[in-house]
Amino acid sequence: MSYPFDLLYRIKRPAFYIGNEYNTIRKEKEGKIKVALAFPDTYDIGMSSLGFSIIYNVINAREDALAERVFAPWVDMEEYLRKKQLPLLTLESGSLVSAFDILGFSMSYELNYSNVINILDLSGIPIFSFEREKLPLVVAGGGCTTHPSPLLPFIDCFVVGDGEEVINEMIDIFKEWRVNSNRKEELLKTLSDIDGIYVPLFHKTVKRRIVKDLNKTPYPTRPLVPNTEVIHDRAIVEIMRGCTRGCRFCEAGFIYRPVRERSLEKVISLSDDILSSTGYNEIGFLSLSVSDYSQIEGLTRYIEEGLIPLYISVSTPSLRVDTSSIEFFHAIGEIKRGLTFAPEAGTQRLRDIINKNVTEEDIFNVIKITSKEGWRSVKLYFMIGLPTEGEEDIIEIPRLINEIRKIDKKIEINVSISIFVPKPHTPFQWTGQISPTEAKEKISILSKNLNRKGISISWHDPYVSVLEGILTRGGKELSNVILNAWKNGARFDAWTDQYKWEIWEKALKEEGIDWMIYLKEKNYQDPLPWDFVDVRVKKEFLWKEYQIGLSGVRREDCRIKGCYNCGVCPY
């Protein structure tokens, strides 16, 4: 089956729906466990997701299973499908999503929840788990599964943590179950006993699954090469997973602990394999903090001697720039492209509270060094609404920006302001979130004090951050809100041109929920909607870290200063 030919001229990005990319894997379906992998955002974003690519390749590496992809159709495609009464099809074989054994969602952002419902609906699959007696088994994995409560009624089981090993165990169990039974409950019962799987039906707690040795885990060496522009259109090699710097606001810094590195030899062999199997002339080295990679010198040498001579350019998503990583950034040409800093807060007092171990002096030093080399732009990331923040902390943000500008007046400065959302499983999970009105006031103070010459500034819509806070911090009661909002047209809520707060506000009201409660501060005794998920970092440690933070005490990286007993090791 395939979409009608007129699709090509009726919608804006037909390449999002037709597949046929280089390295696509197509398999005979007969006798195999069929998995449809769904990414609840557009193709260009989903195709840039490493986790999605890893799971696609792990499943397809098996003789007895196959994976195909499906992405959230953009609004024009949805309109087209609904008008023609066509179902959503997978890219590889144009098959009905509903005909697969397993449908696996990759969940990395809460603002994609309405798209999950939309994909189920467009695939002709009942939305609630209790309505689905038959297959596909609906599974969700990714970062959001560490606080999955709003999705509980829609998903049959959640994979919490690193999915590479879990997915193979899940397929093995599924295979055995299919031979011996057709009762879905039995399958779910067996799955609920696997480490890292949470089945809402059985209300057990779940422990995050952690891959111990990245050198031994499978990695896609023949990734798909999209035919159209995507967000990260390059080879990607993950050099490290986890970060122990301990920024108290950062969810990734706690839910991906401990730090696990790939050896330099492995990184080099993966890079060589991926570059030759794809033809890419750009490679990205991925980690939460690339300059913390213990083999950074060797990696810098590989770039200088093995990649640059072949005209392969290098990029990194890392936001951390300090003097120790200057050589690396120099090697990859990042200094010429422009530097990125995330001071996050305007005052040292507040940076100490959030444990952002970067000082003004660090920033000024790097800017002075690199200014001599002719760099012309800098990106600065700040957050507003951080715990204990006062007006003076806000006013210091423009002062810091103006000081940077004084170092070299020719530089172009781009400032991005986001609104702090207290994330589950972090020391700040108990703090409150500022309201949209407070956010607007803070942004106005900041803008008034900023000399705009040579500086561009952008900020997140306070109402987008509010929905993010609600869906991140809320419980099962939000499932009806998600359904209501979807019925009333909520789609692609992460996209400013599609997002409509009025729909969500109305849905919350109709479900009798006062959304301001999600912004409130919590006590240690208060039950949290994600308490049943054990990410292996102890709650007592997080609370202690929160209290220490409030008193302004910084913590160095445990890899340097020794263990603070957060609970995650020896994993």
Whole-number Å distance between alpha carbons of 441 and 458: 15
Residue 96 is given by DSSP the state B
Nearer to ligand SF4, 242 or 385 (CB): 242
Backbone angles phi, psi at 339, to 5 degrees: -95, 155
Rounded to the nearest whole angstrom, what is the least distance from the CB of residue 566 to ligand SF4 in the complex? 3
What is the chain's alpha carbon radius of gyration, rounded to the nearest angstrom? 24
Whole-number Å distance between alpha carbons of 197 and 191: 7
Stretch that binds ligand SF4, among 208-216, 399-407, 454-462, 562-570 (CB under 6 A): 562-570
- Residue 553 is encoded by which pair of tokens? 């005490």
Helix axes 360-371, 391-407, angle to 10 degrees: 20
Rounded to the nearest whole angstrom, what is the least distance from the CB of residue 417 to ligand SF4 in the complex? 31
Kindly state whether residue 566 participates in binding ligand SF4, applying the rule CB under 6 A. yes
Nearer to ligand SF4, 199 or 568 (CB): 568
**Binding characters for ligand SF4, 520-559, by CB under 6 A (x = yes):** --------------------------------------x-
Q: Applying CB under 6 A, which of residues 23, 182, 496, 565 lies at the interface with ligand SF4?
A: 565
Nearer to ligand SF4, 364 or 564 (CB): 564
Whole-number Å distance between alpha carbons of 363 and 341: 8
Nearer to ligand SF4, 516 or 569 (CB): 569
Nearer to ligand SF4, 62 or 245 (CB): 245
Contacts with ligand SF4 by CB under 6 A: the residue count is 11
Kindly state whether residue 563 participates in binding ligand SF4, applying the rule CB under 6 A. yes
Q: Applying CB under 6 A, which of residues 495, 501, 532, 564 lies at the interface with ligand SF4?
A: 564
Report CA-CA distances (Å) from 549 to 350, 353, 391, 458, 553. Answer: 9, 5, 19, 28, 6
**Binding characters for ligand SF4, 400-439, by CB under 6 A (x = yes):** ----------------------------------------
Whole-number Å distance between alpha carbons of 259 and 244: 7
Helix axes 462-473, 478-487, angle to 10 degrees: 130
Kindly state whether residue 568 participates in binding ligand SF4, applying the rule CB under 6 A. yes
Backbone angles phi, psi at 138, to 5 degrees: -100, 120
Whole-number Å distance between alpha carbons of 101 and 116: 18
Rounded to the nearest whole angstrom, what is the least distance from the CB of residue 214 to ligand SF4 in the complex? 16
Whole-number Å distance between alpha carbons of 20 and 228: 11
Rounded to the nearest whole angstrom, what is the least distance from the CB of residue 161 to ligand SF4 in the complex? 15
Report CA-CA distances (Å) from 323 to 52, 168, 299, 358. Answer: 34, 43, 17, 11
Q: What is the dihedral of CA 248, 253, 255, 257, to 10 degrees?
A: -120
Q: Hunting for tokens 């002075």 — which residue is that?
A: 368
Stretch that binds ligand SF4, among 85-93, 299-307, 482-490, 563-571 (CB under 6 A): 563-571
User: Whose CA is closest to 259, among 271, 241, 246?
Assistant: 241
CB contact at 8 A, 523 and 430: yes
Nearer to ligand SF4, 94 or 567 (CB): 567
Between residue 236 and residue 275, which ones bind ligand SF4 under the rule CB under 6 A? 244, 257-258
Residue 304 is given by DSSP the state I
- Residue 496 is encoded by which pair of tokens? 């400013």
User: Whose CA is closest to 87, among 116, 47, 118, 115?
Assistant: 118
Rounded to the nearest whole angstrom, what is the least distance from the CB of residue 555 to ligand SF4 in the complex? 9
Rounded to the nearest whole angstrom, what is the least distance from the CB of residue 558 to ligand SF4 in the complex? 3
Nearer to ligand SF4, 258 or 346 (CB): 258
Nearer to ligand SF4, 8 or 563 (CB): 563
Nearer to ligand SF4, 273 or 556 (CB): 556
Stretch that binds ligand SF4, among 117-125, 401-409, 482-490, 560-568 (CB under 6 A): 560-568
Between residue 44 and residue 73, which ones bind ligand SF4 under the rule CB under 6 A? none
Binding site for ligand SF4 (CB under 6 A): 244, 257-258, 558, 563-569
